[in-house]
Amino acid sequence: MGSDRTLLALLAAAAAGACATTPKPPAPWAEPVLEAEWAPVESSRYGLFERVDALRALGEVGPAVPSAPLDAASLDALLPPEGLAEGATWRPDHRPLFALLERFHPGATPHLHHGSGAVGARAVLLERSSRRTDVLVRVHADFVIGEQVWYTPAQFEGRAVWEGGQLVWFELGLPPRDTNVDANAYDEGFGAVLADIGYCPRMRLAPRAAAGLAGPPSRDEEELAAARLALARAFYRFAAIDWLPLDRAVELARDTGRPLHAVLLFGTLDDESC
């Protein structure tokens, strides 16, 4: 009996020692830091980005805050409402997002210079399970960079992911598509505000590479396309229209005897770049 008690005591002591000396695994993204990247506009339709001093300086200066810690709790504003179904959209509080956009330039504002109602942020729920919450977010913003000078990205798209109730990923960036930023500036020679559309290859907030994060969970491209369409429709009523290629629209107009409505653009209709 005595030897049994001694053995049990030794086992208990060994277990306690193991618990004391084995460190807990670090929490993913325990100290969140976001890095900002903002490249100069590489090309534009009318050269306004090169002619206007305030616009040209953006490419020389870069983001106002290149790297800074992220208050993960502030992004709880992006958590979906209770009972929201996957694939559904809602309008989150945009203020924490615009606080982050000020890392590019302090003139970040949700008030678009043209007065459109397509302002602020919308989000769509990609997944909510016992393991994970995954959200896709879209933000429309203006940057007032000088007196009567506005820099307007097409949109910002982002992902926020929580696992076990903890934020494990966040990114927000300008989709790298041609003609993805608009500019407006007052020109004394013309006595009017001139507009231009250009291409910015990179404008992004993301975790620093040293964090070693795995990135957001991969999603099927059809699922992401449907989520992006849902966000576009949340901003623009006309996005609910089933747009058709010209040849198919002509064929359908002939078959139904209905008139053809055509829209000619040199930019993108369902964002703020044109």
Q: Which amino acid is at 144?
A: V
Examine residue 134 and state whether it is found in any structural domain, yes or no. Answer: yes
Examine residue 55 and state whether it is found in any structural domain, yes or no. Answer: yes
What confidence tier does 169 reach under pLDDT thresholds 50, 70, 90? very high
CB 116 within 8 A of CB 68: no
Mean model confidence pLDDT for the chain: 87
Query: How many structural domains compose the chain?
Result: 1
Residue 84 tokens read as 């929201």
Examine residue 123 and state whether it is found in any structural domain, yes or no. Answer: yes
Residue for token digits 């291409």? 199
Residue for token digits 């602020």? 120
CB 170 within 8 A of CB 215: no
pLDDT greater at residue 238 or residue 69: 69
Q: What is the pLDDT of residues 193-219, one digit of tens each?
A: 999 999 999 999 999 876 778 889 999
Q: What is the pLDDT of residues 70-123, one digit of tens each?
A: 999 999 999 999 999 999 999 999 999 999 999 999 999 998 888 776 789 999
Examine residue 23 and state whether it is found in any structural domain, yes or no. Answer: no
What confidence tier does 274 reach under pLDDT thresholds 50, 70, 90? low
In this prediction, residue 229 carries a pLDDT of: 94
pLDDT greater at residue 33 or residue 246: 33
pTM of the model: 0.83
Q: What DSSP designation does 100 have?
A: H
Examine residue 269 and state whether it is found in any structural domain, yes or no. Answer: no
Q: What DSSP designation does 72 have?
A: G
* Biggest alpha carbon–alpha carbon distance for the chain: 102
Examine residue 120 and state whether it is found in any structural domain, yes or no. Answer: yes
Examine residue 8 and state whether it is found in any structural domain, yes or no. Answer: no
Examine residue 76 and state whether it is found in any structural domain, yes or no. Answer: yes
Q: What is the pLDDT of residues 14-46, one digit of tens each?
A: 555 544 444 444 456 888 999 999 999 999 989
Sheet order of strands, 149-153 included: 43-44, 192-199, 181-187, 149-153, 142-146, 108-109
- Rounded mean pLDDT of 113-142? 92
Cα(105)–Cα(261) distance, integer angstroms: 40
**Residue range of the domain that includes 48:** 33-256
